[in-house]
A = this chain, B = another copy of it.
């Protein structure tokens, strides 16, 4: 190392080291030990022996090492206690070539250094997004498509925006195999606004039917009363929503039936969708694109983006044109689906950034092999955690009945609320984010949406086994 020409650590870098300046990234790798060397490859820094990837545009200080990484041919590494480094000269620059590889290997050989990790993110929503999607958005954040502008600075009437907007719809149509007689709309206001809009537009007969599978289903039903009567075609309230009903009863003169495909709070999910004789409106917010569905079985699907599609701020609506034509006409502009359908969701300024991130997420899904590959992975991921529950001799008790288990939200309880609290706290300390149950019901929950990597599920499973062992 001493043979290399070291750049003296500048004042700005030195002060950064002393401050609590936050590090920019954590390694995607599960392994939290630094025992390899870093190398630039295809716009990412790959940590040799770890197999993980990461990139950064800001200096990082992890308490032991000081990294300056960039999308370039070099990594700056400062092993703070490295004896070869004079105390006042913390910054070395290693050019990545054979010599540098050697130098870096020499530095790290035989040493165990903790490097920062990307969080194990089990949040229920907003939730984990694919790292590649975030990295791409970051890379072009100041200059979208060589326009000299950020995507969020561009007119929604510009050709560049229009192309992205159209591509997003085309990608969704391709990935979900959406028939041509269905509109794809982008609407703000979250699922809660869809509770209102679905009823406002389509509750035109005497009754509207709702399948009560929990909190969100009930909230949807509450909005219907402004437009007519509403009743429960089925309910799982008798067993604290631990299952998906299979028997439904309908009244005559029913406008539609509203179902919730996946219930985030209880961890239940329709394994297959029943056939109904009335139009079907489905809240697919928490499992859209997690598995193959036959869009033609539904008259309207809506999904808030913040689980499997992108950041909060946009809802995707997929609606049969013939069904849209049956909507109530006398409504305020922004409550009418026709306002969005007639104007390609550009009646007013759309939530550009959210749609843009949905676009990137759809590209990512396609790259993973499409919805079928994603579904397979989701099954494998959930199995890793459900297996721990099932093999725990009752230490962990799954909330959902086995036949209704969600692949997106895995809910479970421990012996007492105190123990659950301890489990969540210890998990948090071990780097697991979002494993507490919903504030309305308590318990524990791991949300394993599309972007949550298998590795995080394996890590959680291991943690659960360790935790159980330490309590037996």
Footprint of B on A, CB under 8 Å? 5, 7-8, 10, 12-13, 22-26, 40-43, 55-59, 68, 70-74, 76, 91, 93, 95-97, 116-119, 121, 123-129, 131, 134-135, 137-143, 145-150, 152-157, 188-193, 195-196, 200, 219, 222-223, 226, 304, 306, 310-314, 332-335, 347-354, 357, 431, 433-434, 439
Contact = CB atoms under 8 A, between A and B. Distances in A.
Given A24-B140, A153-B123, A153-B129, A148 B118 contact: yes
A57 B139 CA distance: 6
A45 to B, nearest CB: 12
30 contacts: A5-B95, A7-B97, A10-B96, A23-B146, A43-B58, A57-B57, A57-B139, A68-B70, A116-B148, A117-B148, A118-B143, A118-B149, A119-B147, A119-B149, A124-B155, A127-B153, A129-B152, A134-B150, A134-B153, A147-B433, A148-B433, A189-B193, A190-B349, A191-B348, A192-B347, A311-B353, A312-B353, A313-B352, A313-B354, A353-B353
Nearest to A200: B332
Contacts of A68: 70-73
A420 to B, nearest CB: 17
A226 B76 contact: no
A126 B153 contact: yes
Contact of A141 (B7, B71, B141): B141
Contacts of A12: 40-43
B142 A154 contact: no
Contact of A189 (B5, B23, B188): B188
A8 B143 contact: no
Contacts of A93: 73-74, 95
B70 A334 contact: no
A381 B226 CA distance: 50
Contacts of A200: 332
B58 A7 contact: no
Given A5-B95, A56-B57, A155-B434, 11 more contacts: A57-B139, A59-B72, A73-B93, A123-B153, A125-B155, A125-B349, A126-B352, A149-B433, A188-B190, A195-B333, A313-B352
A156 B134 CA distance: 19
A287 B134 CA distance: 32
Contacts of A310: 152
Contacts of A219: 333
Contact of A142 (B74, B134, B313, B434): B134
A233 B222 CA distance: 38
Given A25-B142, A57-B138, A352-B311, A334 B74 contact: no
A137 to B, nearest CB: 7
Nearest to A190: B348
A362 B92 CA distance: 38
A143 B134 CA distance: 10
A212 B456 CA distance: 57
Residue among A56, A91, A357 facing the most chain B CB atoms (10 A cut-off)? A56
